Amino acid sequence: MLPIARSGPGGASFMEAFFTATSAICVTGLVVVDTPTYWTPFGQAVILALIQIGGFGVMSFATVLGILLARRLGLTARIMSSTETKNPGYGDMRRVLLRILATTLLIETVVAAALALRFFAGYGYGPGQAVWHGVFHAVSAFNNAGFALYTLSIMDFAADPWVNLPIVVAVVLGGLGFPVLYQLRREWRRPRRWSMNTRIVLFATVVLLGAGTVFLCAVEWSNPATLGPMRADEKLMAGFFQSTIARTAGFNSIDISAMHPVSWLGLDLLMLIGGGPAGTAGGLKVTTVAVLGFIAWTEITGGTAVHVLGKRLSRSVQRQAITVVVLALGAVTTATMALMLLHEDIGLDRILFETISAFATVGLSTGITADLSPAAQGVLIALMFLGRLGPITVATAMAARPRKALYELPKERPLIG
């Protein structure tokens, strides 16, 4: 709210500052003011610091918590990505945090250098400006935040692979999660030794990226306001970029507000699924959705136990996945109804897109964020907090809770379906 943070006279209002700070610390990317024009370099630096703290803080918290729970509960294979023993092999917490910090800084530095060189050599930026833009977008991409120093996000670079691909790489690496990155670094030549968590995250990431690209290109191929005017190769790149970003970074290289409502619905699903656990991505996490899929497949095929990649899935994990999904859907539904009551002039498709984007900490928008009332923006603030901290808090509480029951009630089956 300091005047030095805002371009022009005076400082930002409380709601503008609070919404922006929440969006940055929750690495969401939703904005109520234009980042490059409203905020001064000082204000942008504050946003960048919040993004870095939010991404690294949640990442380290989730990973360290995973180590503790793995040792306590013997669920090493589910959370960590080393060997399937009660010793995760990470050493003490200090070493874990240092490894997370080193990984974060290494990836951000490489991506920032690639972007800075492109801005300097390809667009005539001065050295200082090129470095600043490279660093800002590298940090924003790896932490899956989606803040950009351009009014149109990345739309001006939609046909430039030297800008698109570094951002995509940073988003994917941040979304995989630190446990997966750590195991790939140590055992990338020995996939048979990969944990269940690593296999699910990698497989789901590849499938969702491919399916999302095909879906968006198929729906938007002839849309004159999005992919229509582009060459075929540019359309494929833009479709791939947006499919990647939907999980859950928030940049856009095409106009989201001009997309077909069917594309919005597809992006809703991608945003809700999110990325890998113990990373910078939001959403329900691909492992949670995968567990639900395996549960459904077991029921369809008449199995007695849920098996994943040749191993039996713990029943406690199944209950955790179902609980997280039910609570998430309840939060999104409640927020959507609240926004519909506050803004009867906005359609369901746009409001649902906005609430899922906030809860999944994505940051994509159809362009209604700044036009929402303070009460509606307050709902989105609550959703961003809940989406960033809610699922892991619920899952951890369930995992850490003692389950020593002294008796069981008699069974009875209600009619289902």
Three-state secondary-structure class, residue 223: coil
The ranges assigned to domains in the chain are: 3-400
Phi, psi (degrees; rounded to nearest 5) at 39: -100, 140
Q: In Å, what is the CA distance from 59 to each residue of 244, 276, 299? A: 20, 11, 34
Query: What letter does residue 147 receive in the DSSP assignment?
Result: -
CA-based radius of gyration for the chain: 22
pLDDT, block means (10 residues), the chain with 417 residues:
92 95 94 95 96 76 58 40 35 68 91 97 95 97 94 94 96 90 87 87 93 96 95 95 91 95 96 87 90 92 85 84 90 96 94 96 93 95 87 60 73 80
CA distances from 272 to 284, 328, 361 (A): 6, 9, 9
Predicted local distance difference test score (pLDDT) of residue 75: 39
Helix, strand, or coil (residue 253): coil
- pLDDT at residue 388 in the model: 83
Identify the residue whose tokens are 């993004």: 51
> In the block, which residue shows the tokens 């490894």?
99
- The tokens describing 400, both together, are 């850490």
Q: Across-strand partners of 308? A: 311
Residue 270: C-alpha distances to residues 126, 205, 251, 386 (Å): 37, 11, 14, 18
Question: 397: exposed, middle or buried (C-beta count within 10 Å: 0-12, 13-18, 19+)?
Answer: exposed
Q: How many Cβ atoms sit within 10 Å of the Cβ of residue 197?
A: 26
pLDDT at 81: 32
Cα 296 to chain centroid distance, Å, stands at 25
Q: Which residues contact 381 (CB under 8 A, 6 or more apart)?
A: 18, 19, 22
pLDDT value at residue 70: 53
Question: Which secondary-structure segment (H or E) carries 311?
Answer: strand 311-312
